Amino acid sequence: MRLPRVPHLEIVHEDEDLIVINKPAGLLTSTVPHEKRPTAIAILRDRVAKQDPRARVGVIHRLDRDAAGLLVFSKNHDAFRALKEQFLHHSVKRIYMAIVEGTPKPGEGTIKTRLVEHVDGTVHSTRRGDSGEEAITHFKTIRTTSHYSLLRVTLETGKKHQIRVHLSERGHPILNDPLYAKLKPTGELMLCATELHFDHPRTRARMRFTLPLPRAMAAVFREG
């Protein structure tokens, strides 16, 4: 049976336990109560309520508003608990593609710092061992031009703005980042969650979802 389309959301997969979406850039994953701006969770809860009023859609993880890509949501308490546990134990594989300014040297490596959120909502690394939360990011350069590089980024932890902060502090901010890049944005943030692997909460079968490189990101290398 063909699933009805959700406004502004692409449903990648749905079953009785979970929903995987391709979140567009600019859409909030979730936020505080009484938020007037549209959010992915509000759209999905409205959709699911029309199908099954007993279902409860839960937020498992988040993407920054300006980032795009794969997100999984639970549809019942058991699925919520099982998926959250996988994220807690880092058994979920999350891979992003990012276009950054310049060329990282070395071309691959691991960034490990402790991140602290400031009152203005921005995030920065701290050298204080008793402050912040540990964040670990693995990266590998896939392609370069004279101005930009395409990186494959794997998250070991998932903290707010983690990829954006880590790459910016290395001197290679993500292209069009309004918070951590010095250059003025000329388009959408060049960061997309392109792969998501986890175990199904009911069957325990490994599920793997993959997105192609977004057209806006691919165009950077056609033009470069």
Catalytic residue flag (residue 52): no
Q: Apex CA 107: angle with CA 106 and CA 109, to 5°?
A: 75
CATH number of this structure's domain 10-223, picked from the four choices 3.10.20.30, 3.40.50.10800, 3.30.300.10, 3.30.2350.10? 3.30.2350.10
- Residue 171 φ/ψ region, left for φ over 0, alpha for ψ in the -120 to 50 degree band, beta for the rest: left
Of the CA atoms within 13 Å of residue 97, those in its CB half-sphere come to 20
- Residue 109 φ/ψ region, left for φ over 0, alpha for ψ in the -120 to 50 degree band, beta for the rest: left
- Kindly give the residue spans of alpha helices, DSSP state H, lying in the chain: 40-51, 77-88, 162-169, 215-223
- 146-200 residue pLDDT tens: 999 999 999 999 899 999 999 999 999 999 999 999 888 999 999 999 999 999 9
DSSP 158: -
Look at residue 34 in the predicted model and tell me its pLDDT. Answer: 66
Checking if the pLDDT of 201 tops 80, the result is: yes
123-126 and 206-210: which strand pairing? Answer: unpaired
Look at residue 89 in the predicted model and tell me its pLDDT. Answer: 92
- From 15, 46, 52, 64, the catalytic residue: 64
Nearest-angstrom CA–CA distance, 67 and 221 = 19
Q: 29: Cβ–Cβ under 8 A, 6 or more apart, which residues?
A: 23, 39, 40, 41, 59, 62, 63, 65, 71
Query: Residue 114 burial by CB count (10 A; 0-12/13-18/19+): exposed, middle or buried?
Result: middle
- In the structure encoding, which two tokens stand for residue 149, read together? 């590089």
Element (H, E) at 130: none
Q: How do the domains of the chain map onto residue ranges?
A: 10-223
DSSP 3: P
Question: pTM, whole model, 2 decimals?
Answer: 0.91
- 102-139 residue pLDDT tens: 999 999 999 999 999 999 989 999 988 788 899 999 99
Nearest-angstrom CA–CA distance, 7 and 110 = 38
